[in-house]
Amino acid sequence: CSSDLGDEISGVADLIVALEPQRPQLEILTPGRNGAFEVDSEFQAKCVSHDGRPPANLTWFLDDENIFDGVTIPEVVESHDRNNATLYTVVQGIQRFIRVSDDRRNLICRANHFSYPQGYLDSRIQLLVRYRPQPLPLVKLYGLILGSTGLVNVTIRANPRPLTEWQVAGNTIQQGTRNGRYEAYEPQDLGRGEFNVALSIAGLTLEDTTKEFVLRASNEFGTTDYQVRISSSEAAPAAGLGVGPIIGIVIAVLVILIIIGLIVVARATGRWCFSDNSAPRPSETDTESVENRREPLENFTPRPPPQKLIKPNLSLNAIFKRNKSPSTVKHEALESQTQQSGPNAAGEDDQHPRDSEETVIITDEVTDPKEEDSKPNIVYAELMLKPSPEGKAPPQKTPTEYAEIVYPKTPKVTDAKTN
């Protein structure tokens, strides 16, 4: 090769001429008995595409179904022809177990090569599978008309052709025979291993619908019994829900969601049944007189405050060692002075008579500020009984009486007293 400038350039290139491979050859490696295979038996085959350039690509089919399971890795063998041209042979195998559905289907080996007119060539073998009559679930037939001839049809699969008989209420009707009102027909071949077996019942009665029919089919590979029930009613409804039930379920779910939403809103806002009806009435917070609330101390129970109580953190020492209130100290000092004064004090009492009762105010003090907020607003009044000035004995009653005075809580005001 030369250029316009006179320079020469040389090079080497390999030129490969495509060569159409031969038609693929399909070979069965595990032939069955009399050319047929039994169910669950192992099946092996291989496909060979000879003398192609480049090598062909092999694929497997079972009728129109592409097969990948059990296919081995292809093996490429290189050879040369008389002209020393390189040729390629491809070998690939398949291994699987025979199934009932494989019966009378075509096993296809396809060689794909761009030199073929259609792009590929096939090689195929039909598989014949032998098996006993295949079982079925309970067969239910509906829509038979009472008083007319009822026809019971059952479709079964078997290969080779099965022999059949019917058993009705202890009576056996062989295929192609008649017994009273019952007549059994020969199995009708539907192709691909399917057979229709029929039994006719002349003058169908209601009693016939209560009987149990048994179809027995057998061949050289086994025997299978089929349970059959017949009915004069319409066909059973299809499984699943209709449009109406589905709409009802959707509406019910929506109603439930709405109710749940209303309950959540009512609970959050305190409406309806979630409203707080435990608040005290206005009349219950007013100050009540001592006479109306007088009761013995041992039976007295303080009224709980309307707000939430906080449990005070008190020890036993804090409970039993309380500080004395100023009024209590003053009362104790007054009693001590009375005892020390003796007769002189009695004389002074004669000259200046006093009431027969002395009132001392006792308040329940709280030393802890946090505890003070949680205590109820209660004041106790202690009434001390004294002898009357006429010297009469006081009535027989408890020497000391208490009265509870409940008052609204007011802000603290600290007044400084000047001595």
CA–CA distance, 206 with 208 (Å, rounded to integer): 5
Query: Helices 326-341 & 343-351, crossing angle to 10 degrees?
Result: 100
CA–CA distance, 228 with 357 (Å, rounded to integer): 108
Q: Which residues pair with 54 in a beta bridge?
A: none
Q: Does an H or E element contain 327, and which?
A: helix 326-341
Q: Which residues pair with 383 in a beta bridge?
A: 359, 401
380 touches 403 (CB < 8 A): yes
In the predicted structure, residue 52 carries a pLDDT above the cut 70: yes
197 touches 154 (CB < 8 A): yes
Task: Look at residue 295 in the predicted model and tell me its pLDDT.
Answer: 47
CA 166 from chain centre, in angstroms, equals 47
Lowest mean pLDDT among 34-48, 73-87, 113-127, 258-272: 258-272
Task: Look at residue 418 in the predicted model and tell me its pLDDT.
Answer: 40
Long-range contacts of 313-321 (CB under 8 A, 24+ apart): 314/371, 318/367
> What secondary structure letter does DSSP report for 70?
T
Structure tokens at 364: 């329940």
Nearest Cα neighbor of 231 from 152, 286, 121, 177 is: 152
- For Cα atoms 51, 47, 68, give the angle at the middle one, nearest 5 degrees: 125
Q: What is the pTM of this model?
A: 0.50
Task: Look at residue 386 in the predicted model and tell me its pLDDT.
Answer: 57
Q: Does an H or E element contain 359, and which?
A: strand 357-363
In the predicted structure, residue 162 carries a pLDDT above the cut 60: yes
- Gyration radius (Cα) of the chain, Å: 56
- Count of C-beta atoms within a 10 Å radius of residue 195: 21
Mean pLDDT within 398-416: 51
Lowest mean pLDDT among 86-100, 186-200, 304-318, 376-390: 304-318
For 324, residues 6+ apart whose C-beta sits below 8 A from its C-beta are none
Task: Look at residue 168 in the predicted model and tell me its pLDDT.
Answer: 93
Checking phi first, is residue 327 left (phi over 0); if not, alpha (psi -120 to 50) or beta? alpha
Residue pLDDT, tens place only, 318-341? 444 445 444 444 445 455 555 545
The share of the chain scoring above pLDDT 90, in percent, equals 45
74 touches 52 (CB < 8 A): no
> What secondary structure letter does DSSP report for 302?
P
Burial class of 203 by CB neighbour count within 10 A (0 to 12, 13 to 18, 19+): exposed
In the predicted structure, residue 362 carries a pLDDT above the cut 80: no
Higher pLDDT, 88 or 357: 88
Higher pLDDT, 296 or 1: 1
Q: What is the dihedral of CA 246, 247, 252, 253, to 10 degrees?
A: 70
Distances (CA, A) of 85 to 48, 75, 112, 328, 365: 20, 20, 21, 131, 120
With H, G, I as helix, E, B as strand and everything else as coil, classify residue 259.
helix
- Count of C-beta atoms within a 10 Å radius of residue 185: 17
Task: Look at residue 336 in the predicted model and tell me its pLDDT.
Answer: 52
In the predicted structure, residue 343 carries a pLDDT above the cut 90: no
Lowest mean pLDDT among 6-20, 244-258, 327-341: 327-341
What structural domains does the chain harbor?
22-127 (2.60.40.10), 132-230 (2.60.40.10)
Task: Look at residue 245 in the predicted model and tell me its pLDDT.
Answer: 82
- Count of C-beta atoms within a 10 Å radius of residue 231: 14
In the predicted structure, residue 315 carries a pLDDT above the cut 70: no
pLDDT band at 1 (very low <50, low <70, confident <90, very high): low
In the predicted structure, residue 217 carries a pLDDT above the cut 50: yes
Task: Look at residue 320 in the predicted model and tell me its pLDDT.
Answer: 46
Number of C-alpha atoms within 13 angstroms, CB side, residue 94? Answer: 24
Residue pLDDT, tens place only, 257-309? 999 988 888 888 877 777 766 555 544 444 444 444 444 445 545 555 555 44
> Which of 45-59, 74-88, 222-236, 280-294 tops mean pLDDT?
45-59
Task: Look at residue 305 in the predicted model and tell me its pLDDT.
Answer: 56
Mean pLDDT within 199-225: 93
> Which of 191-195, 359-363, 373-377 tops mean pLDDT?
191-195
With H, G, I as helix, E, B as strand and everything else as coil, classify residue 368.
coil
For 419, residues 6+ apart whose C-beta sits below 8 A from its C-beta are none
CA–CA distance, 146 with 383 (Å, rounded to integer): 106
Nearest Cα neighbor of 63 from 138, 140, 142, 125 is: 125
Residue pLDDT, tens place only, 170-211? 899 999 999 999 999 999 999 888 999 999 999 999 999 999
